[in-house]
Amino acid sequence: MGYIEPAPITDKENPFESMMERFNIAAEKLGLDLETYEVLKSPAKQVIVSLPIVMDDGHKKVFEGYRVIHSNTLGPSKGGVRYDMDVNLDEVKALAAWMTWKCAVVDIPYGGAKGGIKCDPANMSKGELERLTRAYTVKMYEIFGPDIDIPAPDMGTGPQEMAWIMDEYSKAQGKTVQAVVTGKPLVLGGSLGRVEATGRGVMVSAMEALRKMKINPNGATAAIQGFGNVGSNAAKLLAQKGLKITAISDHTGAFFNPDGIDLREASEYRATYKTLEGFTGGEKITNEALLELEVDVLVPAAKEDVINIKNADAIKAKLIVEGANGPTGAKADKILHEKGVVVVPDILANAGGVTVSYFEWVQNRLGYKWTRDRVNRRSDRIMKEAFERVFGIAEKHNVSLRIASYMVAITKVADTYKLRGSF
């Protein structure tokens, strides 16, 4: 594939450009032909819309909304909608591609998509957010659909926004269409197990990796950077498997306790005060110091690019399981690999969320609800099978689990594209 000009990379430490760099490496390993390479790296559809909204004070403000469908080769596209001031087309394009690889690596019949609105939800009223969400849905009537493109929550959105999207879309169809979105409230067709699904996938990935590394989880130590939904659930589930969680953190700082953090106490404290600031269950340290603790397992479950060329040499964990999207920069990958640190990458480790979103969609289509036990059992099986596929490719080609994950995903999409032919 030496004649292919790789996608431009302006900043190797940018997490989204890092993703494209890994894509290029995997494509090179696979000997991907030029036509397929161009198809896989290019989004199938890009939509930009203007959203004039009447604010609570009576003035009208225009917001910009996006939806990018990267691929629908494997099935209807799937991906979250984020509300954030930093939302832009390039970011949404990259995240849509990320979803394509994430769905493919766990063998879910979805393509990848992503959406967003450039706004600050923290400074908007519930009424303003509802009007904005409904206006966005109206502009996306021809894009969304249970057989076409299925939104989900992302940064700045949650079950309430998905309920508004479902309701507005259903009005246009003249009937209730639950399957048009996932991540809905339970009463509107949401799935049991969805809230903890991403953290559960992190736990399953960690346990599979520890087994391959012949590390006994009983008494093994773990540090969790980020104590939101993903991090807190991963911590709780890892502790149930015998690991000792010695450090946790949020944006206010980190807390270290060599005897183990009392997770119930930490969860109750955070629920009461909304942050971990002032928590007394451990020594206060920085988030940067948490990343460099001598632990068996490190779970970065907060922001992107926290492990980079500046601190990769100082990482002492034996295993990194990525709960966040893009927590490790591309330049850091090589350093970690040479140090012998095993990294279970984001597109595998945190794919439990989209797996259970798929289950929600299936249940909506069937008009039937599964038990939490059934959801967890099936999700665990999918995550374990995906890990085995990736691990096998990593061993066969002597590459990292990250590159192996991309190779698995690219092969799945490329083979399907070729079999379907030109369309």
d(CA 243, CA 297): 9
Structure tokens at 285: 């340290």
Which residues, other chains included, contact 76 with Cβ-Cβ below 8 Å and sequence gap of 6+? 110, 111, 145, 146, 147, 148, 149, 150
For the whole model, what pTM was predicted?
0.90
Structure tokens at 173: 């169809």
Three-class SS state of 286: coil
The answer, yes or no, to whether residue 279 has pLDDT greater than 90, is: yes
Cα dihedral across residues 23, 381, 204, 149: positive or negative: positive
Q: What is the pLDDT of residues 107-136, one digit of tens each?
A: 999 999 999 999 999 899 999 999 999 999
Q: What is the pLDDT of residues 325-351, one digit of tens each?
A: 889 988 899 999 999 999 999 999 999
Compare 327 and 19 and report the one with higher pLDDT.
Answer: 327
Nearest to 50 by CA among 123, 129, 128, 138: 138
Q: What is the pLDDT of residues 156-201, one digit of tens each?
A: 899 999 999 999 999 999 999 999 999 999 999 999 999 899 999 9
* Parallel/antiparallel/unpaired status of strands 60-69 and 45-54: antiparallel
d(CA 366, CA 201): 24
Mean pLDDT of the chain: 93
Residues noted as catalytic: 114
255, β-bridge pairs: 248, 284
Residue with tokens 């597109």: 347
Q: How far is CA 198 from CA 154, 234, 376, in A?
A: 12, 8, 11
C-beta of residue 299 within 8 angstroms of C-beta of residue 231: yes
